[in-house]
Amino acid sequence: MVTETQKRGLPDFGFSSPIRGTEINYLFICPTKLWYFSHGITMEHESELVDMGKFIHERRYGREEKEVWIGGIKIDFVRNGDILEVHEVKKSKTLEKAHRMQLLYVLYYLRSHGIEAKGFLHYPDLNEVIEVKLNGHENEIENAMNQVQRIKKLPFPPRAELKPICKKCAYYELCWV
Amino acid sequence: MRKHSKTVLSDGTLRKREGTLYLENRKGKLPLPIEEVYDIYIYGHVNITSQALHFLAQKGVAVHFFNHYGYYDGSFYPKEKLHSGDLVIRQAEHYLDPEKRLELARLFVKGSALNMEKNLKRWKVADGFSDMLGELFRELEDARKITEVMNVEARIRQEYYARWDEHLPEGFKIVKRTRRPPENEMNALISFLNSRLYATIVSELYNTQLVPTVSYLHEPGERRFSLALDLSEIFKPIIADRVANRLVKQGIIKKEHFRDDLNGVLLTKEGTKKVVEAYNEEMRRSVRHPNLKTNVTKQRLIRLEAYKLMRHFVGSGRYEPLVAWF
Ligand code: SF4
């Protein structure tokens, strides 16, 4: 059963971690974005890029798609062979580090709940699938989690810094008007 | 923006048929493809089926209703889709703290006044207005109560209308601003445009996480969406007044576009059509934004103003009201 709380990705007290995969992702994109997002100030619903992501997703994976929410984490789809596979579909490689960390976090999270899983990043536009392995990256993930918590707790959003990705960011107007 | 505002001037029934919205009447069926509809403004006598309402709610499309005089009656404001508990609390905090509330109230009045000044300069009737503003701004700084801020605002507005009148053609003088009912043509025109602008602002707020019912210059509860009233102070001069001015100066709106009614003066159907067209055209017009370095429509400026307020509330920079550079 997916509860409303889980869907909205709010802290789920039934689980140990209130961090969402998207938050790990945003940590490696922009702390300002992370702060706004984690404070419920979201813009994505309007962004063309996100619509595209959805579109690709629905076209290519429509039939296998299974959105699963585990303790507030959205996993794009999960296929159950003899081993659990976690798949995330991404549009382009420009933010590969962020995608990789997000997926690693999901694997880490599952492991902490006793579930071993394999992770795959999909880039349908590039016809590429990359396997992501958790082993050896545990510290990196824990550091990232601590940083996310620290930024979320800030009373104000971290000062915006103009970066090349800003122009395409859904928060561009909010940050720079 | 791929989505557009739709205005319905005719009578009919709004219905959903096979995933599309239609306005149906004796003249036929007009499709309103939902993916292209940003919001809807209804002036005619329109019935809406509950299926159509469900559909609009599901797609997050607000519908605004205007009465016989073109005054805002109310909105179908689908369940707020984007919540931020944190922002709600901070908005409330800025209301409850008297200093924070006063600061915002003053900023709305200042922004409004500077936009009025800009208009008067364009129309070359700004005589003495700037000096007067200097004095009134000092009073504004000293104001300790919202009622005092309101009072300064009313005096600025009076001075503004008196000067604007010098620029307006005979037969379209404001003389004394009368609202409900408007007692002459120019008042009817301004009221009509202000109503429409208010609804546009309600739509823009709907698409942000701001709570539209918590306001600062106006008392919450004065109208349902009182934050839209606050923001309309900034935009009335640069949107509504400019459209009104252009329409009468260029003779697009003439005496014949008004008629007397028991309760004052109102626009005829033909007049309404012309005014709505001019308003929509104005909202679609773009200007270069100096901070964003992109072109934005006049309508988008309202959203941007909402974003600036959001930043103010979360403590990321003080709100600076829009002062027209165009
Ligand atoms: S616009 Fe730039 S600074 Fe603002 S949230 Fe996006 S990436 Fe961060």
State which residue of chain A sits closest to B59, comparing Cα positions. A45
The sign of the CA dihedral B193, B195, B200, B205 is positive
Residue type, B2: R
Q: Does B86 touch chain A (CB under 8 A)?
A: yes
Residue nearest to atom 7 of ligand 1 (CA): A166
The model's pLDDT over B227-258, given as tens digits with 9 standing for 90+, comes to 999 999 999 999 999 999 999 999 999 999 99
Mean pLDDT of B186-214: 95
Q: Chain A contact for B317, CB < 8 A?
A: no
Distance in angstroms (rounded) separating the CA atoms of residues A83 and B179: 71
Measured CA to CA, the distance from residue A157 to residue B313 in angstroms comes to 11
β pairing state of A68-70 and A73-75: antiparallel
Q: What token pair was written down for A97? A: 């580090």
For a ligand 1 pocket test, name from A22, A41, A172 the mutation site with the most ligand atoms within 8 angstroms of its C-beta.
A172
pLDDT band at B113 (very low <50, low <70, confident <90, very high): very high
pLDDT tens-digit profile of B288-304? 999 999 999 999 999 99
Please state the pTM of the whole predicted model: 0.89
| Percentage of chain B lying above the pLDDT 90 cut | 84
Comparing CA positions, the residue from B51, B55, B42 lying closest to residue B11 is: B42
Shortest CA distance to B299 belongs to which of B245, B238, B252, B241? B238
Tens-digit pLDDT profile for chain A (177 aa)? Answer: 344 444 443 333 333 346 888 889 899 999 999 999 999 898 865 444 444 445 455 555 544 555 665 545 556 656 666 677 888 888 778 788 888 998 899 889 888 877 788 898 888 888 999 999 999 999 999 999 999 999 999 999 999 999 999 998 999 999 999
Q: With CB atoms and an 8 Å threshold, state whether A156 touches B303.
A: no
Q: Which 8-state DSSP code applies to residue B238?
A: I
Chain A contact for B50, CB < 8 A? no
- Of the candidates A39, A159, A160, the beta carbon closest to that of B86 is on A39
DSSP-assigned states of every residue in B241-302? IHHHHHHHHTTSS-GGGEEEETTEEEE-HHHHHHHHHHHHHHHH-EEE-TTT-SEEEHHHHH
Q: CB of A169 closer than 6 A to ligand 1?
A: yes
Q: Enter the DSSP assignment of B319.
A: -
The answer to whether the Cβ–Cβ distance between A173 and B82 falls below 8 Å is no
Amino acid at B145: K
> Average pLDDT of chain B?
94
Query: How many residues belong to chain B?
Result: 326
A119 touches chain B (CB under 8 A): no
**B181 preceded by cis ω (within 30°)?**
yes
In this prediction, residue A10 carries a pLDDT of 36
Of B56, B70, B72, B58, nearest in space to B15 by CA: B56
pLDDT tens digits for B42-77?
999 999 999 999 999 998 999 999 998 888 999 999
Ligand 1 centroid–CA A174 distance in Å is 8
Q: Looking at chain A from residue 33 to 52, which residues have their Cβ under 8 Å from any Cβ of chain B?
A: 36, 39-42, 45-46
Q: Is the CB of A41 under 6 A from ligand 1?
A: no
Ligand 1 atom nearest to CA at A31: 8
CA B277/CA A16 separation, integer angstroms = 57
Atom of ligand 1 nearest to the CA of A33: 5
Exposure class string for A100-124: b at 16+ Cβ within 10 A, else e? bbbbbbbbbbbeeeeeebbbebbbb
CA A156–ligand 1 middle distance (angstroms) = 15
Give dist(CA B73, CA A160) in Å, integer.
41
Question: ipTM of this model?
Answer: 0.91
> Coil, strand, or helix at residue B75?
strand
Helix axes B185-206, B226-235, angle to 10 degrees: 120
